[in-house]
């Protein structure tokens, strides 16, 4: 399969060299693949049936599950900064936040090479529809209609290319996004250009709304709780204790009747959890329904065979694990992203991969799949070879993560860390680094043995039995920071913390 794409590049350039005759015959008839990139918002792997987690019986996502049964599911895909805008900037640029400049929700994002700008230059028809959530107008797209900031679920307004005016559309947001995506694809069916479309759904972001027939689901059902719903954070970080991501602290506006007249935190969490997770799953069902509509549309237009479909979410989400909702932390449920890729006849059906993938890799992979050279300053790596069933020698053994915004949202402390196949090491460095109005906190470490403690309940940092592993992870962490040029040389106060704590 690799040669198939390499030869295609030669044919397009008119060189026609470097391939055998047989390969030339294949490549001469090869057409560049269309790429349909479907991204939802905050859709945790625990809420995707195909991932087979503890909620899989209740997470009704038949259409996404079918994509997995027809394509490849990645068991270990992770975000590098678990919050909406930074993940979206990383997905587009293939770079960490400190390179693309989007650390949180309010940094501008303009004039940067992205998968879209590069594919547009390479002759692709490009479009983005739905949630954009970057502080700039989209660049590199032949057409776009995007929500302003979060947008709304019912009768949403979209900023449209050309007019840059907000236009209200009647209906449910994800249904409208599907129609826009289909319209863009249909408009180009007579064109020789392949398409690259980013279809970005609003679900399943708060305030977790749904529409018929999904809005009445789960009424007589008790959803199973995660085993650590009533986590008390004993022997863990101050960061875990002090965050206000806890279910009993959820916004009143989101669930107006959730508070009980009780001081029992666990009882409150259990009560709120049922309302929260049901609303979340209902919202995700509408989105999954729309994935099904898109797949049907591809079939009806004879596009399924030559369209690579990618399904993902901008990051994970806590569904009551540790008593939390939302994201931001490096903990598993927040850090892990769903990733499923379908390409009929090219990717073996129903396959799964274990390698550590990062959202950093999406842009390089998409360019690679389109036969376009990946810019050398992209920090991610193409995993296209894995899609063809091949092993990639020298693939990464750990993922570097960094959450920047110290105490800005939900009192989550800034931290960075490393996630290997079996362990996770986290350093909460305790400094606001230029953010005003936020006080330093005590620096601290956390470490988890993911094989023996997948729920991350036992902080093993300082445990003598893990001394060698800790030393190795610290070395890897430093190496990755060097490799990705995130060494914090501009912050002498952080250098002092490093000297004291490393």
Binding residues vs Ca ion (CB under 5 A): 41-42, 84, 314
Closer residue to Ca ion (CB): 84 or 173: 84
Determine the Cα–Cα distance for residues 159 and 166; give it in Å rounded to an integer.
Answer: 5
Closer residue to Ca ion (CB): 233 or 401: 401
Estimate the crossing angle of helix 173-187 against helix 265-300, to 10 degrees: 20
Q: Is residue 419 a contact partner of residue 331, using CB atoms and an 8 Å limit?
A: no
Determine the Cα–Cα distance for residues 438 and 408; give it in Å rounded to an integer.
Answer: 8
Q: Shortest gap between Cβ of 331 and Ca ion (angstroms)?
A: 16
Determine the Cα–Cα distance for residues 308 and 491; give it in Å rounded to an integer.
Answer: 43
Closer residue to Ca ion (CB): 42 or 368: 42
> Which residues touch 213 (CB under 8 Å, ≥6 apart)?
none
Q: Shortest gap between Cβ of 399 and Ca ion (angstroms)?
A: 18
Closer residue to Ca ion (CB): 150 or 487: 150
Bond prior to 185 in cis (omega within 30° of 0): no
Closer residue to Ca ion (CB): 114 or 315: 315
Sheet of strand 444-449, all strands in order from the earlier edge strand to the far edge: 398-403, 415-420, 423-428, 444-449
Q: Shortest gap between Cβ of 314 and Ca ion (angstroms)?
A: 4
Closer residue to Ca ion (CB): 19 or 286: 286
Tokens representing 214 are: 């999904």
Closer residue to Ca ion (CB): 41 or 70: 41
Q: Shortest gap between Cβ of 206 and Ca ion (angstroms)?
A: 10
Residue whose pair of structure tokens reads 């360019």 in the numeric block: 367
Closer residue to Ca ion (CB): 84 or 281: 84
Neighbours of 464 (CB within 10 A): 8
Q: Shortest gap between Cβ of 496 and Ca ion (angstroms)?
A: 34
Q: Shortest gap between Cβ of 251 and Ca ion (angstroms)?
A: 16
Determine the Cα–Cα distance for residues 424 and 327; give it in Å rounded to an integer.
Answer: 17
User: Which H or E element spans position 419?
Assistant: strand 415-420
Q: Shortest gap between Cβ of 326 and Ca ion (angstroms)?
A: 9
Q: State the alpha helices, DSSP H only, in 14-96.
A: 21-29, 62-70, 84-93
Determine the Cα–Cα distance for residues 68 and 276; give it in Å rounded to an integer.
Answer: 26
- Exposure string over 40-53, b if 16+ CB within 10 A, otherwise e: bbbbbbbbbbbbeb
Q: Shortest gap between Cβ of 461 and Ca ion (angstroms)?
A: 29
Closer residue to Ca ion (CB): 185 or 198: 198
Q: Shortest gap between Cβ of 161 and Ca ion (angstroms)?
A: 23
CA distances from 196 to 161, 352, 369 (A): 17, 24, 11
């Amino acid at each position: 399969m690799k040669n198939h794409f390499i030869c295609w590049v030669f044919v397009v350039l008119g060189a026609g060299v470097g391939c055998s005759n047989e390969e030339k015959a294949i490549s001469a008839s090869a057409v560049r693949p269309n790429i349909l990139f479907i991204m939802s918002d905050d859709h945790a792997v625990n809420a995707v049936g195909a991932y087979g987690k503890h909620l899989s019986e209740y997470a009704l996502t038949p259409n996404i599950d079918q994509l997995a049964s027809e394509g490849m599911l990645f068991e270990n895909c992770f975000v590098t900064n678990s919050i909406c805008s930074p993940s979206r900037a990383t997905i587009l640029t293939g770079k960490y936040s400190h390179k693309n400049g989007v650390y949180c929700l309010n940094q501008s994002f303009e004039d940067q090479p992205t998968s879209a700008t590069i594919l547009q230059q390479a002759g692709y028809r490009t479009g983005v529809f739905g949630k954009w959530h970057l502080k700039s107008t989209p660049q590199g797209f032949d057409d776009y209609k995007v929500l302003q900031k979060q947008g709304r679920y019912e009768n949403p307004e979209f900023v449209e290319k050309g007019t840059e005016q907000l236009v209200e559309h009647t209906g449910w947001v994800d249904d409208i996004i599907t129609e826009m995506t289909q319209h863009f694809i249909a408009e180009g069916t007579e064109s020789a250009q392949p398409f690259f479309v980013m279809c970005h759904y609003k679900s399943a972001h708060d305030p977790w709304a749904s529409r018929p027939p999904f809005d009445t689901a789960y009424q007589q059902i008790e959803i199973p709780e995660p085993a650590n719903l009533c986590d008390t954070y004993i022997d863990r970080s101050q960061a875990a204790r002090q965050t206000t991501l806890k279910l009993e602290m959820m916004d009143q506006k989101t669930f107006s009747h959730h508070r009980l007249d009780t001081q029992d935190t666990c009882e409150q969490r259990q009560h709120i959890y049922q309302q929260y997770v049901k609303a979340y799953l209902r919202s995700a069902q509408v989105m999954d329904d729309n994935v099904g509509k898109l797949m049907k549309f591809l079939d009806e237009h004879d596009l399924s065979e030559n369209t690579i479909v990618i399904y993902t979410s901008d990051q994970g989400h806590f569904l009551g694990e540790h008593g939390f909702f939302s994201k931001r932390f490096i903990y598993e449920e927040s850090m892990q992203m769903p990733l499923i890729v379908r390409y009929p006849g090219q990717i073996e059906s129903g396959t799964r991969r274990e390698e550590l993938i990062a959202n950093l890799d999406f842009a390089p992979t998409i360019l690679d799949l389109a036969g376009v050279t990946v810019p050398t300053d992209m920090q991610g790596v193409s995993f296209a070879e894995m899609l063809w069933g091949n092993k990639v020698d020298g693939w990464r053994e750990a993922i570097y993560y960094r959450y920047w915004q110290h105490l800005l949202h939900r009192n989550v402390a800034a931290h960075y860390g490393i996630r290997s196949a079996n362990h996770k090491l986290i350093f909460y460095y305790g400094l606001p680094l230029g953010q005003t109005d936020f006080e330093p906190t005590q620096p601290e470490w956390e470490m988890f043995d993911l094989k023996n403690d997948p729920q991350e309940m036992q902080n093993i940092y300082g445990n003598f039995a893990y001394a060698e592993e800790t030393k190795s992870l610290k070395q890897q962490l430093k190496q990755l920071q060097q490799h990705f040029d995130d060494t914090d040389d501009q912050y002498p106060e952080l250098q002092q913390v490093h000297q004291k704590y490393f």
